[in-house]
Chains A and B, each alone.
Chain A
Amino acid sequence: MDLRPSIPAMLRFTTLRLLSFALSLVAASIVIFAVIEVIPGDPASYMLGLNASPDTVAALREQMGLNSSLILRYLHWVSGMLHGDFGTSYTYRVPVSELVSARLWISIPLAIYALLLSTLLAFPVGLIAAARRGKPTDIGIMGATQLGIAIPNFWFAMLLVVLFAIRLHWFSAGGFPGWSKNFWLSLKSLTLPAIALALPQASILARIMRSSLLDTLGQDYIRTARAKGLTRGQALRRHALRNAMIPVLTIMGMQFSFLLAGAIIIENVFFLPGLGRLIFQGITQRDLIVVESAVMLLVFAVIAVNFLVDLLYAVVDPRLRGKS
């Protein structure tokens, strides 16, 4: 069988994926728009306070475009986003894109930092567990990961604060100095949150890594490889690892979305001015346009990552290229 990537198959695969990617985004935007639409209360009267005259409210409603039809408002919102215009925050009176992009510089690096830590921890641990299958090391690792999965990351974060910030004074308990002011201090202030986020994900990833490796090690082609004289380690490295990566990649793609969502919770523990805190503030201040855009951006990031992971599969596993 010819396993070299054939151009038409790869193109077809990419086009189909791209199509479903676009479709997901459209559906996601409709859902988010619809959910925000049912929020009770009028943002215009909320902005102006209780004493505003009906005329002022009506004028502001007009200015905010709240009087046009649902579909028009939806199209306006979407076409604005496509041009990078996310509207103007009701409460801050600044473009939402400014608010959001400032905060993205905390939430996204935090999620990536956590994914990095999780991967760095999970890969060797999963490999060792698979190599020592059934031995005390394996049983110990499996027990530890079982515990890791059960720990809520925000609670783990609180424990980290008590130990490393309050007792040992190695880290600050929260806050963020800003990348441009002090890069290393900023990185340091994301370290405890990233560890807290990474631990449960690393536990899941290590388990997937282990079971996926054991699955592939049981395959016929590994036996063939061993039969032609490769050691267990060589067979593992040359043949099993690459094949075992497919489920691991899927999980990593999914984990990025957990990590982003988790990041918005963890930000509350460490008082990090990230996207999560922006969303929560927007909710309490009825600043719907901020909530809408921030959530849409998060969803976009997640769907985009899953799309990239899908494409990565095709690189890792040539068999998938032919399939639709």
Chain B
Amino acid sequence: MKLPHTLVLGAILFGLFLAAALVSFLWTPFDVETLDIAAKLRPPGALHWFGTDHFGRDIFSMIMVGARTSIAVAVVAVGIGVALGVPLGLAAAARHGGVLDEVIMRGNDLVFAFPSLVIAILITAVFGPSALNAIIAIGIFNVPVFARIARSGALSLWTLDYVLAAQVAGKGKIRISFEHILPNIANLLIVQGTIQFSLGILAEAALSYVGLGAQPPTPSWGRMLADSQTMISFAPHLALFPGFAIVLTVLGLNLMGDGLRDILDPRIRRRVRSRPERSPE
């Protein structure tokens, strides 16, 4: 099968940052927590590829470790959304039209109606700024997204013959949901997961930009941008590299999502391409 260009390009872009994040556990060109004031604000060069910041820390190394922070936050936030949202969506579909369905869907609407970033700011502000609280704040808003996708995917499957057959064979609704429905909506979930992943990276960047994400000395892209702001007129490299890192990672994930949808979602292949639901931020 020929892979779509978008998938290949997206996977290369994202793979680059994923690799940087993984390598950063073992090696970075410089230590990101050691300050070297003598070498502060160096422009990009042979020694410091992306230059140094106002504390003399190596920007390239900080971007590598920042990739770790961004990816970790977004992965766990998507994980929360899947772990809570998918069972809820499956349950709602299994009890379609019932009280449970109604309760779950109205609860979903409610979370959806909230301006997510505002509530995320509230949560991180109340429980203290940390990467963990950023994860929870972003993760909560992933729950209704996955619940909706799972429910709508599952609803159409519940009318199919093989599900009916499983019911006749005496399998319970929970068992059918996990054995027969879940594997068949996995494609939808993967596509949505990629998109929520990229939104999570953007949300993490925004939260750490306002100081509510990972705390220093842990490098994060958003915080690097915030720190660079006062120096942007004489040291633009401080703002450029973390920004590019965010844009390229998010772009890579979005392209991957598009490409994955093309091959995984057969309904889309022949139809006009449309985007699946996007969650707020």
Interface size of B as a range: 35 or more
Segment from A42-50, A119-127, A232-240, A295-303 that makes contact with B: A295-303
Query: For the complex, what is the distance from the CA of A215 to the CA of B267, rounded to whole Å?
Result: 13
Can you list, as one digit per residue, whether each of A153-177 has a CB less than 8 Å from chain B (1) or not (0)?
0110011011000100000000000
Segment from B34-42, B80-88, B107-115, B173-181 that makes contact with A: B107-115
Can you list, as one digit per residue, whether each of B232-248 has a CB less than 8 Å from chain A (1) or not (0)?
11001001000100111
Q: Does B272 lie within 8 Å of A218, measured CB to CB? A: yes
Q: Does B115 lie within 8 Å of A265, measured CB to CB? A: no
9 of the cross-chain contacts (CB-CB < 8 Å) are A24-B110, A35-B123, A151-B247, A152-B209, A154-B209, A162-B233, A208-B275, A260-B118, A303-B113
Interface of B is mostly: helix
A interface residues, Cβ below 8 angstroms from B:
20, 24, 27-28, 31-32, 35-36, 38-39, 146-147, 149-152, 154-155, 158-159, 161-162, 166, 204, 207-208, 211-212, 214-215, 218, 254, 257-258, 260-262, 264-265, 268-269, 279-280, 283, 291, 295, 298-299, 302-303, 306
- Contact of A155 with B225 at beta-carbon distance under 8 Å, contacts A260-B115, A261-B117, A291-B125 already known: yes
Q: Which residues of B contact A303 (CB under 8 A)?
A: 113
Closest to B206 in A: A265
Interface of A is mostly: helix
Query: For the complex, what is the distance from the CA of A215 to the CA of B274, rounded to whole Å?
Result: 8
Q: Does A212 lie within 8 Å of B274, measured CB to CB? A: yes
B interface residues, Cβ below 8 angstroms from A:
106, 109-110, 113-119, 121-123, 125-127, 198, 202, 205-206, 209-210, 222, 225, 228-229, 232-233, 236, 239, 243, 246-248, 250-251, 254-255, 271-275, 278, 280-281
Closest 8 CB pairs of A and B: A261-B117, A211-B274, A150-B250, A150-B251, A214-B272, A283-B125, A155-B243, A257-B115
Closest to A36 in B: B126
7 more A-B contacts (CB under 8 A) besides A258-B281, A264-B117?
A27-B110, A152-B243, A154-B225, A158-B228, A159-B243, A279-B121, A298-B118
Least CB distance, B225 to chain A, in whole angstroms: 6
Closest to A298 in B: B118
Closest to A283 in B: B125
